[in-house]
Amino acid sequence: MRAIVIYNSLDSWGWLDSAPSEITSQVEVVPGDIRDPALMMSAVAGCDAVLHLAALIAIPYSYVAPDLYVQTNIQGTLNLLNAARTAGVSRFIHTSTSEVYGTARYVPMDEGHPLQGQSPYSATKIGADQMVNSFFTSFELPTVTIRPFNTFGPRQSARAVIPTIISQIAAGKKSIQLGALSPTRDFTYVSDTVGGFLAALSSPAGVGEVINLGAGFEVSIGQTFDLIAELMDSDAVATEDPKRVRPENSEVERLFSNNGKALDLLGWKPELLGIEGFREGLGRTIDWFSDPANLARYRTDNYVV
């Protein structure tokens, strides 16, 4: 097994640094950058399958550095596709995002929902998705595009809303700084998302397809805050921070997945379902963040763009 991690002078492997030795001993770590086509050729050589999860994902930062998102999310994907084609891989699993749909025009949202690039981030992911599809149709590369809906769980980046809420409450704050509270999301626990990727690796029915991975459950950011505060026995209040609010026309107001295609083609369905499943996933996430050693990794006083 080979893992590409972003090169840095600290020789940090990100979360792989904290993985148990029985995992890291089976992984060949390659520091680099997917924007480097030659490095991708050498990194993918000899591989049977590619799981492409490398991307710039923070929506607020895409307003600041859109060109970097084009280079990483579109050009980087092209570099990996060329490398996978040269290596003759048996499967190329591409990670899309529910953000490519933009605000729901109908619910639940199936894979035929129109694509709307409401942020530079989502626009570059649409571009990457189309590049992947072109390699399937033009070169018969066996691709599968997985489209997760709002994955959450332990170790998630602080730029996401659930870690933002939990880490601030765990740090003892009473006024929790958030963006807009009214948008709804379809939060999917990380183990369910991982299960979908593994199913895509083994199911021949998914080749050439775009497949949603969502819990099929809709909840607002405000309701999510209330649930987390209840589970953490906190009397904190949510405060809308103007710095965290997206531009009006860029905000995705509603996401709510139809995951029937994943069941039909991959045999996948989420284990954590509905409000009770969401509470269970939040509880697991809270337990992880409540460990002082884990919480210390997060800067709760800073807005992480």
**In this predicted structure, what is the pLDDT of residue 243?**
86
| 33-295: CATH architecture | 3-Layer(aba) Sandwich (3.40)
With a cut of 80, say whether residue 303 has pLDDT above it. Answer: no
Cis before 108 (ω within 30): yes
- Average pLDDT along the chain: 96
Count the neighbouring beta carbons within 10 Å of the beta carbon of residue 154.
Answer: 17
In this prediction, residues 97-106 reach a mean pLDDT of: 98
Contacts of 2 (CB under 8 A, 6+ apart): 27, 28, 29, 30, 43, 47
Q: In whole angstroms, give the CA distance from residue 244 to residue 305.
A: 8
**In this predicted structure, what is the pLDDT of residue 123?**
98
pLDDT band at 158; cut points 50, 70, 90? confident
Cα R_g (the chain), whole angstroms: 19
Using CB atoms within 10 A of its CB, is residue 232 exposed (0-12), middle (13-18) or buried (19+)?
Answer: middle
Q: In whole angstroms, give the CA distance from residue 207 to residue 265.
A: 9
pLDDT band at 132; cut points 50, 70, 90? very high
Q: In whole angstroms, give the CA distance from residue 185 to residue 169.
A: 21
With a pLDDT cut of 90, the percent of the chain lying above it is 93
**In this predicted structure, what is the pLDDT of residue 242?**
87
In this prediction, residues 34-56 reach a mean pLDDT of: 98
In this prediction, residues 38-64 reach a mean pLDDT of: 97
Contact between 214 and 188 (Cβ < 8 Å): yes
Q: In whole angstroms, give the CA distance from residue 70 to residue 127.
A: 9
**In this predicted structure, what is the pLDDT of residue 214?**
97
In this prediction, residues 102-122 reach a mean pLDDT of: 98
Q: Which tens digits make up the pLDDT trace of 231-286? A: 999 999 998 888 888 998 999 999 999 999 999 999 999 999 999 999 999 999 99
Nearest of 257, 288, 286 to residue 273 by alpha carbon: 257
Using CB atoms within 10 A of its CB, is residue 166 exposed (0-12), middle (13-18) or buried (19+)?
Answer: buried
**In this predicted structure, what is the pLDDT of residue 164?**
93
**In this predicted structure, what is the pLDDT of residue 279?**
98
Domain residue spans of the chain: 33-295
